[in-house]
Amino acid sequence: MKRRVVVTGLGAITPIGSGKAKYWKALCDGKSGIDKITHFDASQYSSQVAGEVKDFEPQEYIDRKDLRHMDGFIQFALGATIMAIEDAKLEPARDNLDSIGVIVGSGIGGISILTREYEVLLARGPKKVSPFMIPMMLINMASGMIAIRFGFRGPNSTAVTACAAGTHAIGDAFKIIQRDAAEVMVCGGSEAVVVPIACAGFCSMRALSTRNEEPQRASRPFDAERDGFIVAEGAGIIILESLKHALRRDAHIYSEVVGYGMSGDAYHISAPAPGGEGAAGAIRAALDDAGLPPSSVDYINAHGTSTPLNDKLETLAIKRVFGDEAYRVAISSTKSMTGHLLGAAGGIEAIASVLAIEDGIIPPTINYENPDPDCDLDYVPNRSRKAMVDVAMSNTFGFGGHNAVLIFKRYET
């Protein structure tokens, strides 16, 4: 029999606030974290806005001498992990460290370190390149550093599936506990890509919004005037436990993880499949894994990137699976407020899904002003909504055709 898996801790570092409480309040208030880029001079870029983290002080979580050897995405991952462990009231020193594992995903990893050290190479030669460059930039180092910090010796891995990485990390961690290969998993995603080369690359793809004069209105998922996504940074980490382990230590249980589905588009390096088949396959697989019909889902936290193709085809995918139920279910894209955290998106959006169940509030899709005939579902426009949410679904889809979907359910004994 499969073991039950529950969520007991949440840690978030986001453009709208760091810490579970600040992040959730900003979401429910419909607050945008998008503004002009300050990390570098973006005046020559077609897109000059981003979701930058503004209130995270890494030295509060990490020793200063260690910070020098960590890319920003590792700092975010460690900070959010500490928040989640504290929220879960987990005491690792009292536990069997062999039974606690880590899976943290990222789409790009230490790109700022790579860029910095390449500039050193060009200016000063190979002998001046930092010996810490490689471990600072490797994507698996977020999981590795978390395990080193706390001594977690359980299953340790990394998901690298572009924008689906955070969701794949949580889903894989869920399955590890479910099959009795760990009691506790630290999982989620982290990203720090508001750097010149990454933003230039996305600009060259024409993937980003160019609504530079009104940053807070630039991310507008499902709106007819959407023109691209907003790149953003941060981390979302959750603590998963076997139900038995959580009950033994009298942990607060936010919700239960009941379904995980994934699929591949097998279509294009950056565009979604034209009929939404891949996304629909992952949604259907998650429902099948949970043993739930579409009619049981109360809320979908959509991938909702604010790009013309994604929002249209995600809507189509939902209709493919849900049929007439698609017009009943509440759907929102919290990327309208946070921007797109790429590999960390699944982490912070899983947290939003869990808190929607916990608090009975569905966060809105802000900047929804102009209906699109291709996007005709209930996107919870502009204001949060009080509602009983027993089952929440979180969708994420990544470049390369990677699709991942999680389903959370209200915990019942």
Cα separation, 316 vs 295, whole angstroms = 17
303 is catalytic: yes
Element at 189 (helix H, strand E): strand 184-191
163 is catalytic: yes
**Catalytic residue (choose from 163, 187, 199, 203):** 163
Q: Which residues pair with 6 in a beta bridge?
A: 241, 256
Contact assessment for residue 409 and residue 380, using Cβ atoms and an 8 Å cutoff? no
**Catalytic residue (choose from 187, 303, 375, 402):** 303
One-letter amino acid at 149 equals R
> Residue 16 phi/psi, 5° resolution?
-105, 10
Tokens of 359: 């608090």
Strand locations in 15-153 (E):
17-18, 35-36, 49-50, 100-105
**Catalytic residue (choose from 168, 245, 340, 402):** 340
DSSP per-residue codes, 262-312: EEE--S-SSSPPTT-HHHHHHHHHHHHHHT--GGG--EEE----S-HHHHH
Cβ contacts of residue 5 below 8 Å, gap of 6+?
174, 177, 178, 240, 241, 242, 243, 256, 257
> Residue 295 phi/psi, 5° resolution?
-65, -15
340 is catalytic: yes
Contact assessment for residue 396 and residue 166, using Cβ atoms and an 8 Å cutoff? yes
Catalytic residues: 163, 303, 340
